[in-house]
Amino acid sequence: MGIFAKPLGYLLSWLYDFIGSYGIALVVLTLVVKFALYPLYAKQIKTTTNMTKLQPKIREIQQKYAKNKELMNQKMAELYEKEGGNMYGGCMPMLVQMFVIMGLFALLRNPMAYIDDDNMLFAIHESFLWIPDLAQPDKWILPIVSGIATFIAFNFSQTSNAGAAPGADQANAMMKIMKYFFPLMILMMARSYPAGLAVYWSVSQIVQIFYNIRFAHLKKKILGDDKKKKKPARA
């Protein structure tokens, strides 16, 4: 992940030189990355919501042309062209987000592997709030904050996606399991990795909570506008 971690390392080093506090620089870096990724998050939500609206028509085509795969694919392509849908439209934003997050994870797990500035060798050991050394794990407070923030963000995401796609019962059941397993996993990881990484994750998930609330309203608006279009005009 060096291709993503290296430029993020330059940004972190510049923020530290400008701000003078490694802890605050981590918070600012997290906010910059989250805000920069917002358009991709929004695009992904719009794409998946539009695909949700097409599900009844997609199932109808699949049932009607089940014995003729070539014709079924042709009809699906015509549907996507007509309705402006794209089954792969949400993949690219998701991939970009994933690579950036993995780059940040690699950087904050071992900052000096991606930062050439010798001043950062001392900076990563600075104290921040109650944390005496950001290069060492914080055993309880930050991990608990990270786990709780992850649970709340995950819960908002699951609530907004509940029933989004017909036939998604199995996926929803898996999401319910992950809602508890993933925060616990984050808590355990945060107890093992440098506190700086946990600072990033905590701030990131707190921002994600507000994003998920915003995206839930966005999905309702898209689906609501679609219902209004379908409503027959009164005589």
pLDDT tens, residue by residue, 83-108:
655 555 556 666 777 888 888 888 88
| Segment 168-176 long-range contacts (CB within 8 Å, at least 24 positions apart) | none
Residue 231's CB is within 10 A of a number of other CB atoms, namely: 8
Reported confidence tier of residue 3, pLDDT bands at 50, 70, 90: confident
- Please state which of the ranges 57-61, 93-97, 152-156, 169-173 shows the lowest mean pLDDT: 169-173
Q: How far are the Cα atoms of 43, 109, 131, 216 from residue 144, in angstroms, in the given order?
A: 31, 18, 14, 26
Q: 227 vs 82, which has greater pLDDT? A: 82
pLDDT tens-place string over residues 33-49 = 999 988 888 877 777 77
Read out DSSP for 40-84?
HHHHHHHHHHHHHHHHHHHHHHHHHTTT-HHHHHHHHHHHHHHHT
Token look-up 């005496």 returns: 132
pLDDT of 205 > 80? The answer is yes
Q: Calculate the average pLDDT of the chain.
A: 80
Q: What is the mean pLDDT of residues 155-171?
A: 58
pLDDT of 136 > 90? The answer is yes
- Give pLDDT, residue 171: 61
Residue whose C-alpha is closest to residue 200's, from 55, 51, 28: 28
Contact between residue 46 and residue 222 where contact means Cβ atoms under 8 Å apart: yes
Residue whose C-alpha is closest to residue 126's, from 200, 206, 194: 194
Q: What is the pTM of this model?
A: 0.77
Q: How far are the Cα atoms of 2, 73, 74, 107 from residue 202, in angstroms, in the given order?
A: 23, 44, 46, 16
pLDDT of 199 > 70? The answer is yes
Q: What is the mean pLDDT of residues 176-191?
A: 88
Token look-up 């921002």 returns: 207
Q: 29 vs 112, which has greater pLDDT? A: 29
Residue 165: CA atoms inside 13 Å, Cβ hemisphere, count?
19
Q: 112 vs 31, which has greater pLDDT? A: 31
Please give the Cα distance from 43 to 98 (Å, whole number): 15
- Give pLDDT, residue 158: 65
**CA 228 from centroid of its chain's CA atoms:** 30
Reported confidence tier of residue 233, pLDDT bands at 50, 70, 90: very low
Backbone angles phi, psi at 110, to 5 degrees: -145, 75
- Give pLDDT, residue 164: 47
Q: What is the mean pLDDT of residues 14-23?
A: 93
Residue 183: CA atoms inside 13 Å, Cβ hemisphere, count?
20
Q: 52 vs 13, which has greater pLDDT? A: 13
Please give the Cα distance from 67 to 88 (Å, whole number): 24
- Give pLDDT, residue 42: 81
The pair of structure tokens assigned to 123 is 């900076």
